[in-house]
Amino acid sequence: MTRRECLVNLGCVAVLASVREHLGSQGNERLTLPYNFFPISYWVGPPATEERYRELADCHFTLTFGGDIDLSHRFGMKALVFDDRVFKALSQRDEESDKLLEEAVRRYRNHPAFFGFFLRDEPNASEFADLARVHQRLLELDPKSVPYINLFPTYATQQQLGTPTYDEYVDQFLKIVKPRVLSYDHYALLQGRDRPDYFLNMEIIRRMSLQAGIPFWFILLSTPHWGYRTPSEGDLRWQVFTALAYGAKGIMYFTYWTVEEEGWGDGIIKKDGTRSERYEIVREINREVKVLGPLLLELDSRQVYHLGGSLPDGASRPNPDSWVQKVDGGSIVVGELVHHKGSEFLFIVNASYKEETNVAVFLKKPVASAYEVLRSPGGGEKPLPVSSLEGISLVKLSLKAGDGRLLRIV
């Protein structure tokens, strides 16, 4: 069953209804961000009631997926809209298709909460031409909107992709559809093990989003189903913060509401409508991301590398120009991010989703200061102790399982 079929079968109203000064080979252009807030969303939404949308907003979601656009606005969220006219237009190539799109855009384009239309989940490459046609027409009718399409992960089959390789799949999508965002899902948290291509997938998407000059979004696992485990707090933090270290400019959870089908466990909200233990965890993570969000939108990924432990598929070690050359006490993922005004940032993530770690991070050269960007309400920064010796600097960090810290280096 595809995710689109899953969403339709649920029958829920909610479901149906930077900056870049890139110094490497990617070029020197800035990312084009078609929005001015950090999107935090989900798949499989709640019933469209005031109580449930208040609960969404209290969990610090910023973008609803399907559902009621008026309720989204009332509780301070933007809305990605599901509209049958858009779905029908994808399968029609005549004047009727254009009329359907005009009607849909006319209905929503002036709504203060409107973000864009959902078009398709995990399309085959054979569908890219029709997606491009509808995508282009929607932007002609409303240039401010963000038509949304989500791509397969690396573990999809060639038959699912419609191309010999995953790189070709993403490349064709970018060249034919010319999307405003590059979104993909990857669920690494299997029972008793992890998918080995998690970071490979993230690096491919990161690289291609930079080449295209558009932001990427990541959909993470939050609900056990089939062979996937129930995510711990460390699992959830690890997925969110590794994505941010790789430069993601939007995150979505799969799922928020529980899918009432065989083989599915409880989502963030259980089958009976009560909150699972993950609600408060996700609420806190989302609050932290929401605080960091305005700054993250102004930062662009320069490079990402892994230190300590074994090197995952698709990951890299630091090169001679990397800020971090060595770590003691644990394994970390480091994302180097650059602000358009020249400030340099390090997003340092605990590579273990199981254990807290205290790490000594060795920088390539002495620095005047290091500041942590705070995730508490109000944001701001706090200085970190830095010691320098023999041409290098040392910063010590305590990281919860899967957690990340954003540092500004001066």
Give me the pLDDT at residue 96, please.
93
pLDDT digits 0-9 by tens, 191-213? 999 999 999 999 999 999 999 99
Terminal alpha carbon distance of the chain: 51
pLDDT digits 0-9 by tens, 58-78? 999 999 999 999 999 999 999
Question: Number of folded domains in the chain?
Answer: 2
Q: Tokens in use for 295?
A: 């700054």
User: Is residue 169 pLDDT above 50, yes or no?
Assistant: yes
- Give the residue carrying structure tokens 């500004």: 408
Q: What's this model's pTM, rounded to 2 decimal places?
A: 0.93
Task: CATH number of the domain at 108, please.
Answer: 3.20.20.80
Q: In one letter, which amino acid is 328?
A: D
One domain for residues 72 and 160 = yes
Q: Looking at 277, 297, 317, which one is the last position of a domain?
A: 297
Under DSSP, is residue 122 helix (H, G, I), strand (E, B) or coil?
Answer: coil
Interior/surface letters 159-175, b for 16+ CB within 10 angstroms, e for the rest: ebbbbeebeebbbebbe
Distance CA 256, CA 189 (A): 17
Give me the pLDDT at residue 227, please.
97
One domain for residues 81 and 137 = yes
One domain for residues 58 and 119 = yes
State the DSSP H helix or E strand holding residue 160, giving kind and residue range, or none if neither: helix 158-161
| Sequence-distant (≥ 6) Cβ neighbours of residue 356 within 8 angstroms | 350, 398, 399, 400, 401
Give me the pLDDT at residue 93, please.
86
Higher pLDDT among residues 390 and 210, named by residue: 210
The DSSP output letter for 251 is: E
Assess contact for 118 and 80: CB atoms under 8 A.
Answer: yes
One domain for residues 251 and 320 = no
Q: Looking at 264, 281, 297, which one is the last position of a domain?
A: 297
Give me the pLDDT at residue 176, please.
98
- Parallel/antiparallel/unpaired status of strands 344-350 and 404-409: antiparallel
Give me the pLDDT at residue 16, please.
30
One domain for residues 229 and 331 = no
High-pLDDT (> 70) share of the chain, %? 93
Which of 249, 302, 297 has the alpha carbon at shortest distance from 409?
A: 302
User: Is residue 373 pLDDT above 90, yes or no?
Assistant: yes
One domain for residues 217 and 129 = yes
Give me the pLDDT at residue 18, please.
31
pLDDT digits 0-9 by tens, 229-269? 999 999 999 999 999 999 999 999 999 999 999 999 999 99
One domain for residues 65 and 200 = yes
One domain for residues 259 and 317 = no
pLDDT band at 29 (very low <50, low <70, confident <90, very high): low
Q: Mean of the pLDDT values across residues 310-338?
A: 97
Give me the pLDDT at residue 6, please.
47
pLDDT band at 340 (very low <50, low <70, confident <90, very high): confident
Higher pLDDT among residues 152 and 17, named by residue: 152
Q: Looking at 244, 278, 297, which one is the last position of a domain?
A: 297
User: Is residue 2 pLDDT above 80, yes or no?
Assistant: no
One domain for residues 169 and 231 = yes
Distance CA 368, CA 120 (A): 49
One domain for residues 23 and 83 = yes
One domain for residues 260 and 306 = no
Mean pLDDT of the chain: 93
User: Is residue 19 pLDDT above 70, yes or no?
Assistant: no
Assess contact for 22 and 209: CB atoms under 8 A.
Answer: no
One domain for residues 332 and 246 = no
pLDDT digits 0-9 by tens, 278-308? 999 999 999 999 999 999 999 999 999 999 9
Domain limits for position 367: 300-409
Task: CATH number of the domain at 385, please.
Answer: 2.60.220
